[in-house]
Each structure stands twice: as structure tokens, then as C-alpha cells.
Amino acid sequence: MGRFQASFRLFPPVAAIVAVLAGAAVCPGRADDVGANKSELIRGLLPTVVNISVQKVEPPKPTAPGEPDTVSAHQPPADTAPDVKGFVGSGFVIDPSGLIVTNYHVVEGAFQITVTFSDGSRLEGKTLSASRIADIALVKVEAGHPLPAAHWGNSDALQVGDQVFAMGNPFGLGLTVTAGIVSALNRDIQNSPYDNLIQTDAMINHGNSGGPLFDLQGNVVAVDSTIISPTTGSVGLGFAIPSSSARFVVDQLRRYGWVRPGWVGMKVQPVTPEIAQAFGMAQPEGAIVAWVLPDGPAKRAGLAIGDVILRYGDRRPTDERALLRAIAHTPVGDRATLLVRRDRKELQIPVTVAEWPRNQWEAHDAPDPVQVPKIATPPDLGLTLAPLPSAEKSNLGLDGDVTGVLVTNVAPESDPAHRGMASGDVILRVQNQPVATPAEVWAGVAAARADKRDFVVMLVLPKVRDVPGPKWLPLQLTQQAN
């Protein structure tokens, strides 16, 4: 690929540490005041940022070389349980009604979205609309009361060296704050034809996707989305979608349900030094027209293949990506005047911007359909149980009066398996009632079902423990899909 680095979208797998550099000339007392002000600002912004966890159906793995290709890559056998996996990301509230911005790749294909707020409260989320190309999605929660909302900032005013800080959910650890500077502007990492990313050394990792990048006034100047690294961890090369682009997409999604971009019907590419030399240009500038669609606005306006577009309206785009963004952001029906170089002469060509044909745009930008797993919850939850032998009870260090039930098998792809239960675990309580026999476990499960609960909670002592002691596990009772 010509790059040794790999580009990663910041997604998959609580104390906030903030290190913002102060100027060397600031006196100690003044530095304390500045630090206190920043801490107060950050504490005020924490309620606007959310952690997002999702459940997705992973596509089936391709057939290994040499194995018979008996199943289509898109059609697993009907009796094969889907591979359901959980992922984490971030987001931020933009409207008190419960509207949240995140990256599209965070909620792409998610059949279950859980939004966790800084106070620990959790709500179910629903994707309202999204743009795959822009990597922006809108998620809605119903809180029953107004939510604190973040405010957009002006990314166009950012300069290299400006201080910024990021909030998000790296590696699913919980709400975390990191700080740094704007390292570069207008980065093109070839994620889309419109790339105009802000590079920052504020530490962002997997799970930060969709989280906000704030300026020192507490305004959202970008949406964290991608890292470039030779490993899967951060090496200080983080990239975020500027607020100018993100806000345009969000406004379009809120108003129309899709990105209704301006369109003139042409293909452009950058003027490289070689192209400039071949065309007798003093220096490479502008974007050269490579194709004009028949009956499109550009064709009707008189634009021709080989024209070099130097200016769009009152702006001189820095590259072809800036030109495409300017066209896309132009309100449908507005007229823009192009300054064009043709045959060593400069011409002014007015063009009326049309709406990008929706069927064509959605062929490239429409979100992928959500695959809902067809998982019926069996009466036994996928668990096989047995009485706990006295020897095993002693090995586990359980006191004489503590009872439990041994898990002898956990069905693959069952809800208990997804939540980490395994053979050798011991169930100590069901719905906070001690259990001593498998029958008592199933009685507790049946009682929870009779109460029309979606979950039953069990206190489980894992056979393999990262930390000492048992833990509570909620297990799904209701069917996940009909």
C-alpha cells in the first residue's frame, strides 16, 4: 500500500488525567488558576459525553483453503448460531431531547445499542440516520428529561499548535479525558474522497470513535474517528472529522434523513506538478476536470474536460477534496461562479448546483442493513447444571454454609457464553436467593419469566478469575429476535 502504517477506525475492543501545557512565562499562582479553570470546564463537559456499547452479528468467516465451499459467505446454514460480538465506542449529546452524534462505524450493523452517561445511568439507543461516507451517525435515546448538550465550535479557526482535549471510552475503560495539540490540518488518509481530517496528539485509542475533540472554550471542534499506527494502539497519530464537516452532515441528517449534497456532475482530480508542467502552468494549483456527465449542471454550464478549476465562488480550494466539499455544502439551487483555466486563458463559468441524485448517492452512502440474530432463548439458557461436589466446594474455598450449583457445560453462542460463563463456574444465587440444586436454579429462572422480566440475575463464582470472588451476571430471558 506504500505505507508501513495501518489505519484503524477507533472502534472495538475513570479517572480522567488531563495534561495541558502552560506557557513557561506564566507564574505559579497564575498556572494554578488556569489549571483550576480547565478542570472546572472539563467537569462541566463530562455529562455531555457518552460511552456506547453495541451488539453486532459478525459475518461468517470465509472458507479456509482446501475446505469445501458448501456455504455461501453471506448465507450461513440455518441451524448455525450467529456469531454475536460486542464492541465499544463514544459519542456526545447535541440536543437536550436525547440526540447523540457518533461515528457510523460504531453503530454500523448494530442490533442493540446501549448508551452510558457519566453518572452511570444507561439508556437504550436507536440509530436514526447515518452517512457511511462521512462516518457520522445520529443515535436517539429517550431520557424523559432534558440532557446536557455540547456545543459546536469552529474548526476552520483552528491552527496547528492549538490545544485540544478528547473525551471518550478507550478500550471500554469508561469516560476518559486526554489532552494535546492540533498536530496538522487537512490530512488525507484516503478514507473518503472528502478527507479533511484534523490530526492531533491527544491520546485516542480504540473505543474513542465518535467522541468529541474540544477546544479550550469547551466547544466541539472535531469528532474522533481514526488512528494510524504500526500496531493496534495509539502512537500519537489520531485523526478527527472537523466540526465544519460533521455539523454539515448532522444538519442534513436531521433535516432530510440523508446527506443531500450539492452536485454538478463532474469528476476532478488534483493538478500534480507533472500535470502542471505538461499544461504549461507556472505552478500546480486547482483541480482538473477529468469527466463531465451528459445533461448534468456542469455540462449545461459549459464546463469541459481539461478545464482547471482555480476558484469556486469566492473561495480558492486548496485541492480537489476542498472543491468537492465546497460543492457538496452548497445549497441546492444556488449558483456559483467557477474561475476556470482553459487553453492558457481564464474564464468565469456560472453553474447552478443541483441535488445529487438520491438513488446514486445512496448506492454509495446508504448504511448497511442491520442483521438481527435469530436467537431463541431456550428454557435452560444453554446451561447444563449439576450438584456441587463437596470436594469441588472445598477446592473453591467456599465456607461450609455456602451453597452452589456447578455449571458443567455452556452452549456455544448462548447468552451465558457471550457473557463469559464457562464449564466449572459455580452459581451461588439466582435473583439474590441462595441455590443448592439445579432445580432451585430453574425455579428462580421460571419465577423471573413469570414476572415477565427480560433478564434473570445470577451470582456466579467463575472457575477462572481475574480478581477474587464471585460476580453478578444478568442473563437474557426474552427472545432476541422473532
Q: Cite the active site residues.
A: 105, 135, 209
- Helix pair angle (320-329, 243-256), 10° resolution: 30
Kindly write down the DSSP assignment for every residue of 81-98, as one continuous string. Answer: PPEEEEEEEEEEEEETTT
Do residues 117 and 156 lie in contact, with contact meaning Cβ atoms separated by under 8 Å?
no
Q: What is the spatial distance between Cα 430 and Cα 440, in angstroms, rounded to a whole number?
A: 8
Question: Which residue in 103, 239, 244 sits closest to 182, CA to CA?
Answer: 239
> Which residues have C-beta within 8 Å of that of residue 33, sequence separation ≥ 6?
none
Cβ neighbors of 481 (< 8 A, separation 6 or more) are: 111, 372, 373, 374, 375
Cell numbers that stand for 236 in this block: 500519537
Contacts of 45 (CB under 8 A, 6+ apart): 150, 167, 214, 218
Q: How far apart are CA 444 and CA 431, in angstroms?
A: 7
Residue 439 — φ and ψ, nearest 5°? -60, -35
Side-chain half-sphere CA neighbours of 159 within 13 A: 2
CB-based contacts of 1: which residues, under 8 Å, 6+ apart? none
CB count, 10 Å around CB of 54? 24
Is there a contact between 38 and 218 (Cβ–Cβ < 8 Å)?
Answer: no
Q: Which residue has the cell 448538550?
A: 149
- As a whole number of angstroms, the distance between CA 200 and CA 68 comes to 47
